[in-house]
Amino acid sequence: MKTFLYSVLFLGGVFHYNVKAQSSASSDASVLTCQIKENPLYQQEKDRIYQLIEKQVHHLRGGIQNWKGDSSMKLMTKSGSGEASIRPNAAFAASMSFLYRFGKFDPATVGLSKKEMLQNEIIPMIRYLVRTHRVGDLKTDDGKAWGDAWQSALWVSLMGNAAWYVWDELPSDIQQGARNVVAHEADRIAAGNPPHKLKLDSKSEENSWNSQVISAALFLMPNDSRYAKWEKALQKWAMSSYLRPADSSSTAIVDQIPVSKQFNGANIYDDFTLENHDIVHPDYMGAWIQNAENDVYYLLSGRKPLQAFLYNLPQIYKNQMRLFLPDGGYCYPSGQDWAIFRNADWMPSHATAVARFNDPEAVYFLRAGLETAEKMQQRNQDGAIYAPGENYFASAQGHLSYWLAQAWLELQFAQKELKPVMQKPGTNYFVDGKFLINRTKNAFHSISWGEKIMIQLMPLAKDHIVSPDQRNGIGSISVNDTVQRVVLKSVDVKETKNSFVVNMVVQHGKYIQAAIRCESKPNGQLTISEKLTALQDCTTNSVGTLSFGILNNPNWVYEKGSRTLKLDQQESNVKAASGQTNQAVAKSVKVDNLNFDLGSQSNVIYKAATKMKDSRHTDLLVLNAIKDKHEWKQGNVISENKVTISVK
């Protein structure tokens, strides 16, 4: 009976505005009004973001081509039905539509007039997307129509947004086609139940992007008979995205229903971290901007947003801020398996936190990210923000302009001018995420013992120096010509408000045990002690522990294209991508202003990268290098080392 009453409240209360809207004739072809009131707050930031978008769109326009020689349909990629062929086009079309609809458009920057952009590029791109979808009449060049795919709800929502911004300018066939595509995908998602998963691969991102296509159906078809059904599904999918295990018993009321009654499974941990790509992944912690986008579109159309859109998001963002560095990029405690120079991509997170969470710390990172994005764009005359190879993701350039547009829109709804506040020093222990950080005045320390076991220190500066290599602090050991998998056997954690000590025992395969002690001090020093012991008779091909990835990129805005390496008193300049190798028996190592004090002599190797991996050049510094084959008996102590790392 209670469930029935809650359902009645849900349909008859929170959605009263929309139920009333349905009383209009279903044949009404109107869409919800898209409008913004002028807001003088953060005008400088908005103007700078808008200019970034204009220049990025100028760059992207260089890739537009007719499809099969037909100027009525255009695209910027190869024609195909997969993500790499659809998502970039949909995001780019939406970016151009944003410029057409909002802001002070500069034809000189973009490279053509608004009218030319609409007629020659926006409409032909939307037409291509509409006609090659499964509900359209054409197929892409791979012989398939696109749609009904794992991520296609996201692509359709992008196309829907593109159409909404320029709705009154679209031909009637494109209007109807866009509605057909959006309704098809919205019905598919609305008929399903949101999945959930905590370990390794959270479903938070998928659920939130699925919610977006339903949101698009609402603003494109406000008088459709399915409106109430769609909005109920939108609330369900958005709410499911960022639920924690603790929400199963929460008495909080969201959209007039207790959270516990809406709980269908958790996608984030109770400490507001989440896992994706098999690790605790800050990039995916920030995917909540998709829920925030639902929120801003409600505001754009004059509707009161559903509370589900922002549920648990401020707390996730608080965690993100603890991981951001002064340039607006992340520290990755569990490593990063793709691009790290995504500073500009995080702008919607900061802008939402400024506008909707009233978070003064977000202002600092908004400005830091904006400054970095501008420096990135200044490298490329045609306006590209990413340099070649800097982000290998197929949609990187196209979607970036769209995310920047979201940041601009979010700031239009800012409520007060906040003064920027920097992050305070101190520790954060993420029990569920299985990592610990310490922000000191000049350094950032992190240690992780979850799916990836890592220890790292980087300067609290715009040049991170340390790359988030997933063997940082631990290194690798090869036995029988095989690099051994590192497995955690035990961990003991002690923390104070500004320091920590972690004792771990890990095993390199079944052969070698590493007893590790890691101490983070308030003065910025990080000390790592390691004792390697053979667990059984074995032969090592090589030992390379206490290793760290060192960023050394030829074109990154806060690096100089080389590193100054000092092994004791021997100094050399290591050029980026040179493949140069330096080796010495040394007690101290210095990489630029990052110091490694070993206390006693150790065989040290520094090897420069020759090419990019995961969109960056990572050199390798090994502080405990035992080359060539060595035989060990069970119980033999292989090595015992201690290093204190500091920034000077």
Residues of the chain with CATH 2.70.98.60: 426-647
pLDDT digits (tens, 9 = 90+) for 356-381: 999 999 999 999 999 999 999 999 99
* 539-565 CB burial, b ≥16 within 10 A, e <16: ebbbbbbbbbbbbbbebbbbbeebbeb
Paired strand residues for 488? 506
pLDDT of 26 higher than 50: no
Q: Where in the chain is the domain with CATH 1.50.10.20?
A: 2-22+35-411
Pair of tokens at residue 60: 């992207």
Q: For the segment 224-274, what is each residue's pLDDT rounded down to a tens digit?
A: 999 999 999 999 999 999 999 999 999 999 999 999 999 999 999 999 999
* Among 637, 278, 594, 621, CA closest to 475: 621
Does position 5 have pLDDT exceeding 80, yes or no?
no
Query: Residue 637 forms beta bridges with which residues?
Result: 533
> Are the C-beta atoms of 609 and 577 separated by less than 8 Å?
yes
Using alpha carbons, list the distances in angstroms from residue 94 to 288, 349, 374, 557: 19, 19, 22, 28
Q: What is the chain's length?
A: 648
pLDDT band at 16 (very low <50, low <70, confident <90, very high): very low
Amino acid at residue number 635: G
**Is 297 a residue whose pLDDT tops 90?**
yes
What CATH code is assigned to 2-22+35-411? 1.50.10.20
Distance CA 238, CA 410 (A): 18
Angle (CA) 121-125-131 rounded to 5° is 150
Of the candidates 426, 424, 435, 522, the residue with the CA atom closest to the CA atom of residue 472 = 435
Distance, in Å, from the CA atom of 521 to the CA atom of 440, rounded to the nearest integer, reads: 8
pLDDT digits (tens, 9 = 90+) for 83-134: 999 999 999 999 999 999 999 999 999 999 999 999 999 999 999 999 999 9
In the chain, what percentage of residues exceed pLDDT 90? 92
Q: Specify whether the CB–CB gap between 229 and 312 falls below 8 A.
A: no
pLDDT tens per residue across span 517-551:
999 999 999 999 999 999 999 999 999 999 999 99
Q: How far apart are CA 201 and CA 189, in angstroms?
A: 20
18, pLDDT greater than 90: no
Q: Are 619 and 609 in contact (CB under 8 A)?
A: yes
pLDDT tens for each residue of 593-622: 999 999 999 999 999 999 999 999 999 999
283 pLDDT exceeds 90?
yes
Residues 211 and 190: beta-carbon distance below 8 Å: no
Q: Does residue 80 carry a pLDDT above 50? A: yes
Cβ pair 190, 212 in contact under 8 A:
no
CATH topology of domain 426-647: Beta-galactosidase; Chain A, domain 5 (2.70.98)
pTM above the 0.85 mark? yes
Pairing of strands 512-520, 500-508: antiparallel
Residue 503 to residue 494: CA distance in whole angstroms: 9
pLDDT in tens, 477-533: 999 999 999 999 999 999 999 999 999 999 999 999 999 999 999 999 999 999 999
- What's the half-sphere exposure (Cβ side, CA atoms, 13 Å) at 643? 29
* pLDDT given at position 575: 98
Distance (Å, rounded) from C-alpha 404 to C-alpha 392?
Answer: 19
